[in-house]
């Protein structure tokens, strides 16, 4: 019997604390349990009855409902790890997952942070520094300023070379925040101070830089896995259907790439991951611009954590990314060679959020009165919902991720349409109807969309209904 067929025996991590909530907490708990690791959930006042607290081996209360006093409270999380006897902390996504100071505090406490080290998070989490790393590794980047801008005069000098329109982007942070599009010099003069203030308020750092704005580009990201010495890619995801730069629907592989471009783009991501000694699961984000027929791609930033949309990569490659993160953190070298990883079929993910599209996506917390999820071959649902649970108003609005896989993109689209029709959810408003409409749009079905497509489509839809 080969080693791959033997039960996993943890080396250092026998108990892992999940420093998160919701569906990603459940995802980590399940992966850890499959590896023979015990799990510790943490919960705020609002999450006392959360599914993760029921499914984990142990659950520790960490504070009031507001995230600043619970899920963002480093000392409370470390105390929970110490008191429960956990050897490792998995941060999930969001909250402190890309916080270098938190990763360092975990290590300083004698615990294992499931992810890259603090120095890597700090470097690759700073968009300007990440651009410099990409350039040093020979990975193309969007034309823009080099490093953080020190003054408006410096920005104007760079803008004259880059050309308008361009984007002012916060050097820190993520999730689409801290970004402004300016179309001329007057707008740059007006909005740069505002962008700096916004970055300071959101991320505690006022640094910004400039990039050329590509209005019809596609947002494509590449999944990587590394053990600090070696790294591989697990191909790409198409993430262009966005509202206010927040992803709504993702698919893998991208319908826009031919085989040669896919190979070049994905190999560039693996090369960049290797060049920084990346450890764990990470995602390199690119803009792909084929408006001039050349099919150019540019690195824009890296997410040093597991992504919300990781299940579609798991579906097309057969690699359990969260389980691999835990193995690598436990001291095991990367088990995968690049030639062992191949694309099979196509996968789509729809994010169901507690938002009301008919009221400009107003948040919709409340009690879930009824929920029924779809089933059948190739259908997966990642969710923390159950009948009678409460969706609190304090956190991200994600309710569930509906993921489907099939042998071709056309078959996956048909399967997703069928799965969406099976969903029943009562008690809170959601984006379910939006997804059902999207899956009927000719451009979406044909894969003809870009990062500004969804908002233009919703605007047109509103105008037609008036």
Segment-wise mean pLDDT, segments of 10 residues, the chain, 466 residues: 71 98 98 98 98 98 98 98 98 97 98 98 92 94 87 94 92 75 95 90 87 92 98 98 94 97 97 98 95 83 97 98 98 97 98 95 97 98 97 97 98 98 98 97 97 92 72
Examine the fold and report which residue of 114, 139, 163 is the final residue of a domain before the chain moves on: 114
Exposure string over 433-463, b if 16+ CB within 10 A, otherwise e: ebbeebbeeeebbeeebbbebbeebbeeeee
Residues 206 and 316 in one domain: no
* Cα gap 252→315, rounded to integer Å: 9
Residues 189 and 224 in one domain: no
Examine the fold and report which residue of 142, 177, 212 is the final residue of a domain before the chain moves on: 212
- Number of folded domains that form the chain: 3
Residues 227 and 184 in one domain: no
* Cα gap 111→88, rounded to integer Å: 5
Residues 70 and 188 in one domain: no
Asked whether residue 395 is domain-assigned, the answer is yes
CATH number, domain containing residue 395: 3.30.470.20
Residues 235 and 336 in one domain: yes
Number of other CB atoms surrounding residue 401 within 10 Å: 22
Contact 172, 207 (CB under 8 A): yes
**CB neighbour list of residue 157: distance below 8 Å, 6 or more residues apart:** none
Token code pair at residue 350: 């729809």
**CB neighbour list of residue 384: distance below 8 Å, 6 or more residues apart:** 21, 22, 23, 25, 26, 50, 51, 52, 400
CATH number, domain containing residue 208: 3.30.1490.20
pLDDT of residue 202: 80
Number of other CB atoms surrounding residue 128 within 10 Å: 20
pLDDT single digits (tens) 134-165 = 999 999 998 888 789 989 999 999 999 999 99
In the annotation, is 216 catalytic?
no
Asked whether residue 333 is domain-assigned, the answer is yes
pLDDT of residue 82: 98
Residues 186 and 248 in one domain: no
Provide the domain limits for residue 297. 218-465
Residues 179 and 226 in one domain: no
Residues 225 and 361 in one domain: yes
Contact 325, 90 (CB under 8 A): yes
- Predicted TM-score (pTM) of the model is 0.90
Asked whether residue 145 is domain-assigned, the answer is no
Examine the fold and report which residue of 85, 114, 143 is the final residue of a domain before the chain moves on: 114
Residues 272 and 412 in one domain: yes
pLDDT of residue 2: 44
CATH number, domain containing residue 98: 3.40.50.20
pLDDT of residue 283: 98
pLDDT of residue 53: 97
Annotated catalytic residue within 218, 279, 305, 409: 305
Burial of 78 (0-12, 13-18, 19+ CB in 10 A): buried
Asked whether residue 144 is domain-assigned, the answer is no
pLDDT of residue 200: 86
Residues 97 and 206 in one domain: no
Residues 185 and 315 in one domain: no
Contact 381, 402 (CB under 8 A): yes
């Amino acid at each position: 019997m080969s080693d791959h067929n033997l039960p996993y025996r943890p080396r250092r991590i026998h108990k892992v604390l999940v420093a998160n909530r919701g569906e990603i907490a459940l995802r980590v708990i399940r992966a850890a349990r499959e590896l023979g690791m015990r799990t510790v959930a943490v919960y705020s006042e609002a999450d006392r009855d959360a599914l993760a607290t029921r499914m984990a081996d142990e659950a520790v209360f960490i504070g009031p409902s507001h995230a600043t006093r619970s899920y963002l409270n480093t000392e409370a999380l470390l105390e929970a790890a110490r008191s429960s006897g956990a050897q490792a902390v998995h941060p999930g996504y969001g909250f402190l997952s890309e916080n270098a100071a938190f990763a360092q505090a975990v290590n300083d406490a004698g615990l294992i942070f499931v992810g890259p080290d603090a120095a890597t998070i700090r470097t690759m989490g700073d968009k300007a520094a990440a651009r410099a790393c990409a350039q040093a590794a020979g990975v193309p980047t969007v034309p823009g300023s080099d490093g953080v801008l020190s003054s408006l005069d410096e920005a104007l000098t760079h803008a004259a070379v880059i050309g308008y329109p361009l984007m002012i982007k916060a050097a820190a942070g993520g999730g689409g925040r801290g970004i402004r599009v300016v179309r001329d010099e007057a707008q740059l003069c007006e909005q740069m101070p505002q962008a700096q203030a916004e970055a300071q308020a959101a991320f505690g750092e006022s640094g910004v830089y400039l990039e050329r704005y590509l209005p019809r580009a596609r947002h494509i990201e590449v999944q990587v896995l590394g053990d600090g010495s070696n790294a591989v890619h697990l191909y790409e995801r198409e993430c262009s259907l966005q509202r206010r730069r927040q992803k709504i629907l993702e698919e893998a592989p991208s319908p826009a790439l031919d085989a040669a471009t896919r190979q070049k783009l994905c190999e560039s991501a693996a090369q960049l991951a290797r060049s920084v000694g990346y450890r764990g699961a990470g995602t390199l984000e690119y803009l792909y611009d084929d408006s001039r027929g050349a099919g150019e791609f540019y690195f824009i930033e890296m997410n040093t954590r597991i992504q919300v949309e990781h299940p579609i990569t798991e579906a097309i490659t057969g690699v359990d990314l969260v389980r691999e993160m835990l193995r690598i953190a436990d001291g095991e070298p990367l088990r995968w060679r690049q030639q062992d990883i191949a694309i099979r079929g196509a996968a789509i993910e729809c994010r169901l959020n507690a938002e009301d599209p008919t009221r400009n996506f107003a948040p919709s917390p409340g009690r879930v009165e009824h929920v029924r999820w779809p089933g059948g071959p190739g259908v997966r649902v990642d969710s923390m919902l159950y009948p009678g649970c409460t969706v609190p108003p304090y956190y991200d609005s994600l309710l569930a991720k509906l993921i489907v896989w099939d042998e071709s993109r056309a078959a996956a689209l048909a399967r997703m349409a069928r799965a969406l029709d099976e969903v029943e959810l009562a008690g809170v408003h959601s984006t379910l109807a939006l997804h059902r409409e999207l899956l009927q749009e000719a451009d979406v079905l044909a894969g003809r969309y870009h990062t500004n497509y969804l908002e233009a489509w919703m605007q047109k839809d509103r105008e037609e209904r008036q």
